[in-house]
Chain A
Amino acid sequence: MGAAAALDCDAELMLRVKDGDEASFGLLLDKYRASVSHFLYRMVQDQAVSEELAQEVFLRVYKSRETYEPTAKFTTWLFRIATHLALNWLRDEKNERAQERLDQSTEDGPAREVADRAATVEQQMVYEVKVEEVRCAVAALPDKQRAAVLMHKYEEMEYSQIAKVLSCSESAVKSLLFRAYETLRVRLAHMA
């Protein structure tokens, strides 16, 4: 792991940030701004929240610069922060929604869904129906399975790296992914 980290140029950049080089932080921000924001968007499915969380991720990276040690790949560390924040937000959001349901138990109408809340009229116009279905299918996955799928599909992470991000074993990641894709295959079976 140490040798791999030694070859990680992002870790090198982060070490320069640690030495007070603000420009290196800018380079890391340029490189990972989009992928972190998109990962968080796909996790929480709310544009405003995902950007707020992405800001928090980079703020934490900056705040941790003095204590940073390249013990793992930089992206593992970065996405661990992002995943941690997203899972915490989803947990709090679920608790909040559960509380709302309790408060509004006498009211009629369906419970608010994450996807429904995120989908504005404009977004409905932009996104195709199929994309909306994909979004719903992903949103319906358990949080950890969703995180694993997003890292596997969009970040092209290895099983070992996903395992480090999610703090679990590689076999647990294989199992998470297999179950997640199984669900998606059923839900998206009609899509050609």
Chain B
Amino acid sequence: MNCPIKSQENTEWLLEYSANRLDKERTAMIARHLQICPECARFVEAQRRVWDALGRWEPEPVSAGFDRRLYGRIDALPASWMGRLFRPLHPLWRPAVPLAAACLLIVAGVVLHAPKAVLNPADSQVRVEKTSAEQVERTLDDMQMLRELAVTPAPEGSSSKSM
């Protein structure tokens, strides 16, 4: 690999190597390079000193009243008109959502599992057949009646006319 300092390429690898944050492959590359490059080795040594020194700097813990003050400021914020409008309902609508969902499920269940008026094709066929038989019977009756009428002698006037 090229010397990161001399070539000014991948200088961040040296920083990350010093912080033990470089991936395995690059760590191995840098480690090999450090054995032959005293300049980079000095760089890493100095950078590790800086890293350790920065690590000693611990700030004070956050004060105990931090959250109380923050929530006090949040409560003092002017609410938007939408917020003001729905704020009184806020504690109510949240538990109402699962309740409404449960009701919806029940209604859906009832609708889906209600007994359906299933059309039986056989019934319709029977009805059709029944209707057809009646019609046939009626037609036969009509034919019978017509036949009887034809047998009945026609009035005289009408027969002479027809002759």
Contacts and interface: CB of A to CB of B under 8 A. Distances in A.
B56 A55 contact: no
A27 interface: no
A191 B53 contact: yes
A130 B56 contact: yes
A47 B61 CA distance: 10
Interface size for chain B: under 10, 10 to 19, 20 to 34, or 35 or more residues? 20 to 34
Contacts of B77: 59, 62-63
A131 interface: yes
Contacts of A58: 70
A18 interface: no
Which label, helix, strand, loop or mixed, suits the secondary structure of the A interface? helix
Given A131-B56, A134-B56, A59 B74 contact: yes
Nearest to B63: A51
Interface string B46-58: 1101111111110
Contacts of B46: 185, 189
B12 A178 contact: yes
Interface string B11-32: 1100100010100000000000
A10 B49 CA distance: 34
B49 A192 contact: yes
A29 B69 CA distance: 13
Nearest to A133: B53
B147 interface: no
B50 A184 contact: yes
B63 A191 contact: no
A29 B67 contact: yes
Contacts of A128: 56
Contact of A153 (B51, B80, B90): B51
Chain A interface: which size bin? 35 or more
A184 to B, nearest CB: 5
B66 interface: yes
Contacts of B62: 33-34, 37, 51, 54
A22 to B, nearest CB: 9
A135 B57 contact: yes
Contacts of B19: 153
A38 interface: yes
Contact of A34 (B11, B47, B54, B61): B61
Given A41-B59, A184-B53, A191-B52, 6 more contacts: A55-B70, A66-B80, A134-B53, A134-B56, A178-B15, A192-B49
24 contacts: A29-B67, A33-B62, A33-B66, A34-B62, A37-B62, A41-B59, A41-B60, A42-B57, A42-B59, A51-B66, A55-B69, A55-B70, A59-B70, A128-B56, A131-B57, A134-B53, A138-B57, A153-B51, A184-B50, A184-B54, A185-B46, A185-B47, A191-B49, A191-B53
